[in-house]
């Protein structure tokens, strides 16, 4: 039995009757799905993804109501998230139509200084069945029907998804919608299946038929699973999208010229979704003294006016409370503002604005605290600001607010965060990750366990593919995309070194 | 002191006086080199790589004579390998000129179903300093001046290379040539440096300033280092190019029509370089009965006529002798032919042709034996052949010899090996890996520790790069390649979803 709990009340609303789980059938089932995904080709998989998006839309009311009841994230946000999730499935259908993701490369036979070169043709092929661990904070966009699943299916990899205990019924309904879409598109196998318990999920990461893992969640669990994946007899790639402090730096001129506006924006960003974003700005490096005052005042006003928000689960609320206590306990840390108190029942988090001297930056102040909390650190000079920024570890994002007079600082900050961040935001806030071709959602460890690839954006598909090179293979035995005269519209290819 | 030993005699010819090693200065030194590589830009790094190639050519006589004395591989092969190594540096200069490797992607601001999308620009940036472990069997092409070094420098990553004890003087001379080339191109930092001992190399993999590792060598050492890289406080990518059985399947018609020719080619391939290739075909699945006879006869004749060959080191020769003993000891295994006996002094390996029934395929018969050894396994039906092939683990390559009548078998084999091999060779032999855009040199574990990327070919550069996304960053602060109007010739880019 898995409990579906309403976080607004803490009450178990429903119990999912989950049959005893075994993974014995995984190999055979995944093999069938893998073959069907391969035989469908890019066009067939694109049609499947679009049908899945339509199926999610068809079931929107039920999905969103269920997710709201399980997560407390509210209908507007969840409606937006479902839109995003359907859009994302469509983006990967576009990626398939385009075909550039295959990296099709052809070298015709030729002479080289080392002698004759054979005919060589390279493209990417799917790895095989993959495991996906969804996050609590995005019951659609980073869970069963989310980016990992969409990109893996696009690549041709069947998905076994771990149900997050914070939204089990949403997960089951999402899986049903995806499979209904697949059926509409003519698929007969279960291209997505679910596992429920932590114990089964652990065995899943170690299962010989699983070829890669996508994970969104905490550093602690992500690292544990990454270590398991690396220690397998056959190690497999583990794409863990974990979390980050996501530092934000405000230039002195920007603070002076539009401090209240930045304070408002920053308050909105760190309290968005009750601070439950992996891209939440956890620390802001701001000018000390009078230049920073209007920014701080705006933040204090917004936080003081804010009520407590429902958090995703008892675990999340408890972890936030404990994290906030740890932060407040660091010598030198000062509470600037608190939001309204939490109700007695349910799982709640109250916004918290802290201030810390740069000299205190250590321990809890260098770790992500998942929830509506922001630490301000003042700087006197540009050197101070750069040194403070250098104290923080790598992150998913780094943000800079700068006006013209801040260019010297901004240039230094940009040069620095190119080594430590996956996305660099100018005069904006890091929450909100666009589903687009140019998006990169990742960053050096501990932001992710694999900084080379992304968990959002078109190139997320690259995680589930490996290159294969065909040497002198006859035309009719080659994949269509590598033939001299493909039967399908030609994909972007590099031929004899030239992209065309 | 590191001994430089002549494998033809076993005599220590020279001793390298290596100062006590410490890695304390690595961080600062690598930081300087990293910055110089970045500031040089693509054009500057391309010029550096071409100057390095020229410096290797300038010192060809000395390098080749030294390598011959340390490896026993012979002047023709080593001259060819130096040509290949210089050509490879040039290929990565071409890759830099082209710029497509950056995966530059631009999404202009726009409306989406989720609201407005910011300006997003993504490209790949270098990881940082990397460690390179060269292989004994390619003292140039897969050692200090080899593909890992060339691709890492192209990416903008300084290299710390582990000297292989089988060719220490060659390694030092190669480093000197590379740095001389870099000086010619105006570089003042040591973009390549060396470490010597296994102990230092182990610490290198664990050093906080090292961001990735390229390794070519044995499964045992590769896995040990991969595990170290994964267990670091900050895990880093480990690209281990290990070894493989590299199965080769011969269709019945092909064996009937041109068995002697295939036998000759196969003999040449498995004995090439005294069998010391990671792409050496270790097992051939051939038709049983009369159809396979001419193939077997040609192999037996060639092996019987062959003399013993100098192996790279005492370790290599001992390991080959032990591996050959293990293979001969498997019940059912039959010796078909042996090459000439080895001289008393030095390190030698004598070619060995074995035959095994499919029922014996287990243990040593499923493991790579590095050296001039080949196992033949007969098949009766296509089903037999496919089942036998299915017994072997993943490999760098899989080869198929097929005539028209073999198409049904060949089609099944192709479908199967697409899941298990990195390169599929048609009517050819797996030794010989072209340095080209379409090459993929890799394969599922245990062929490599990371099947997603390649250690030969243009995309080898991808291993040392990670994406960074710039959101709303002003034009003048963007990397040149992401600006609306770049100052340098435009690189291939995907703009608003369209490759151009």
Largest Cα span, chain B: 79
Which of B240, B164, B204 has its CA nearest to residue B30? Answer: B204
Superfamily of domain B2-242+451-482: Aldehyde Dehydrogenase; Chain A, domain 1 (3.40.605.10)
Using one digit for the tens of pLDDT, what is the confidence trace for B384-411? 999 999 999 999 999 999 999 999 999 9
What is the predicted pLDDT for the residue at B24? Answer: 86
pLDDT at A500 over 90: no
Q: Which residues 79-98 of A have a C-beta within 8 angstroms of B?
A: 80, 83-84, 87, 94, 98
Using one digit for the tens of pLDDT, what is the confidence trace for A102-144? 999 999 999 999 999 999 999 999 999 999 999 999 999 999 9
The answer to pTM > 0.90 is yes
Query: Does B418 contact A457 at a Cβ distance shorter than 8 Å?
Result: no
Residue in A449, A462, A499 nearest the CB of B100: A499
B394 Cβ partners below 8 Å, 6+ apart? B244, B420, B421, B443, B444, B445, B446, B447, B451
Domain ranges in chain A are 2-242+451-493, 248-426
Query: CATH number for the A2-242+451-493 domain, one of 3.40.309.10, 3.40.1160.10, 1.10.287.90, 3.40.605.10?
Result: 3.40.605.10
Residue in A80, A112, A414 nearest the CB of B87: A112
CB proximity A493 to B under 8 Å:
no
Using one digit for the tens of pLDDT, what is the confidence trace for A320-358? 999 999 999 999 999 999 999 989 899 999 999 999 999
Using one digit for the tens of pLDDT, what is the confidence trace for A206-256? 999 999 999 999 999 999 999 999 999 999 999 999 989 999 999 999 999
Q: Which residues of B are catalytic?
A: 241, 278
- Place A27 in a pLDDT band, splitting at 50, 70 and 90: confident
Residue in B98, B118, B467 nearest the CB of A440: B467
Same fold flag, B2-242+451-482 and B248-426? no
| Structural Rg of chain B based on CA atoms | 24
The SS3 of residue A495 is strand
CA–CA gap between residue B127 and residue B106 (Å, rounded): 21
Residue in A87, A230, A492 nearest the CB of B114: A87
* Inter-residue contact B299 to B337 (CB < 8 Å): yes
Q: Does the structure's ipTM exceed the value 0.90?
A: yes
Closest Cα of chain B to A17: distance in Å? Answer: 35
B271 Cβ partners below 8 Å, 6+ apart? B302, B303, B306, B309, B339, B351, B372
What is the predicted pLDDT for the residue at B329? Answer: 96
Which DSSP string do the residues of B328-339 spell out, in sequence order? HTSTT-EEEEE-
B20 Cβ partners below 8 Å, 6+ apart? none
Distances (CA, A) of A195 to A131, A225, B233, B434: 10, 16, 30, 44
The SS3 of residue A248 is strand
CB proximity A410 to B under 8 Å:
yes
Enumerate the residues of chain A whose CB falls inside 8 A of the CB of residue B120. Answer: 434, 436, 438-439
**Residue listed under structure tokens 């009719």:** A476
Length of chain A: 500
Which DSSP string do the residues of A432-486 spell out, in sequence order? ----STT-----TTTTBS-TTS-SSSGGGGGGGEEEEEEES--GGGS-GGGSSS-
Q: Which residues of A are catalytic?
A: 241, 278
The SS3 of residue B249 is strand
Residue B204 class from Cβ within 10 Å (0-12 exposed, 13-18 middle, 19+ buried)?
Answer: buried
A290 Cβ partners below 8 Å, 6+ apart? none
Which of B154, B136, B143 has its CA nearest to residue B96? Answer: B154
Return the CATH fold of A248-426: Aldehyde Dehydrogenase; Chain A, domain 2 (3.40.309)
Collect the ranges in chain B with pLDDT lower than 50: none
Which of A462, A423, A444, A450 has its CA nearest to residue A239? Answer: A450
Strand partners, B2: B16
Closest Cα of chain B to A341: distance in Å? Answer: 32
Q: Give, as one character, the DSSP assignment of residue B275.
A: G
Work out the average pLDDT over A34-56: 98
Closest Cα of chain A to B440: distance in Å? Answer: 5
pLDDT at A418 over 90: yes
HEC string for B291-328: HHHHHHHHHHHHHHHCCCEECCCHHHHHHHHHHHHHHH
């Amino acid at each position: 039995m898995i409990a579906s709990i309403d976080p607004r009340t803490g009450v178990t609303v429903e119990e999912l009757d989950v049959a005893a789980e075994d993974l014995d059938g995984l190999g055979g089932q995944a093999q069938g799905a893998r073959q069907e995904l391969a035989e469908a080709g890019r066009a067939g998989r694109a049609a499947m993804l679009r049908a899945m998006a339509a199926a999610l839309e068809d079931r929107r009311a039920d999905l969103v109501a269920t997710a709201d009841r399980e997560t407390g994230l509210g209908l507007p946000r969840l409606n937006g998230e479902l839109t995003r999730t359907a859009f994302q499935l469509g983006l990967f259908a576009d990626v398939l139509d385009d075909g550039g993701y295959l990296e099709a490369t052809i070298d015709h036979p030729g002479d080289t200084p080392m002698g004759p070169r054979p005919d060589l043709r390279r493209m990417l092929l799917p790895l095989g069945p993959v495991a996906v661990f969804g996050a609590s904070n995005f019951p659609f966009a980073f869970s069963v029907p989310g980016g990992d699943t969409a990109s893996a299916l696009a690549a041709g990899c069947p998905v076994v998804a771990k149900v997050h205990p914070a939204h089990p019924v949403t997960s089951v309904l999402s899986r049903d919608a995806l499979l209904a879409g697949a059926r509409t598109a003519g698929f007969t196998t279960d291209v997505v299946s679910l596992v429920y318990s932590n114990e089964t999920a652990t065995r899943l990461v170690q299962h010989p038929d699983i070829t890669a893992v996508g994970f969104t969640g905490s550093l602690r669990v992500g690292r544990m699973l990454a270590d398991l994946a690396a220690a397998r007899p056959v190690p497999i790639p583990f794409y863990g999208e974990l979390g980050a402090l996501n530092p934000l730096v405000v230039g002195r001129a920007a603070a002076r010229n539009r401090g209240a506006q930045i304070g408002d924006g920053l308050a909105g960003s760190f309290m968005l979704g009750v601070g439950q974003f992996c891209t939440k700005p956890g620390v802001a490096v701001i000018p000390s003294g009078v230049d920073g005052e209007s920014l701080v005042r705006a933040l204090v006003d917004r936080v003081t006016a804010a009520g407590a928000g429902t958090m995703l689960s008892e675990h999340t609320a408890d972890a936030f409370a404990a994290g906030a206590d740890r932060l407040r306990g660091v010598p030198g840390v000062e509470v600037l503002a608190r939001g309204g108190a939490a109700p007695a029942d349910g799982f709640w988090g109250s916004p918290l604005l802290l201030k810390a001297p740069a000299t205190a930056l250590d321990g809890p102040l260098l770790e992500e605290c998942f929830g509506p909390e922001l630490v301000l650190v003042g700087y006197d000079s540009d050197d101070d600001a750069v040194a403070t920024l250098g104290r923080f570890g790598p992150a998913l994002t780094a943000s800079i607010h700068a006006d013209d007079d801040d260019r010297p600082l901004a240039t230094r900050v940009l040069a620095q965060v190119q080594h430590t961040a996956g996305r660099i935001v100018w005069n904006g806030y890091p929450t909100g990750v666009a589903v687009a071709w140019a998006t990169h959602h990742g960053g050096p460890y501990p932001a992710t366990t694999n900084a080379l690839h992304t968990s959002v954006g078109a190139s997320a598909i690259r995680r589930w593919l490996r290159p294969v090179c065909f040497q002198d293979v006859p035309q009719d035995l080659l994949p269509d995309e590598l033939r001299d005269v493909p039967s399908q519209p030609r994909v972007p290819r590099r031929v004899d070194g030239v992209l065309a």
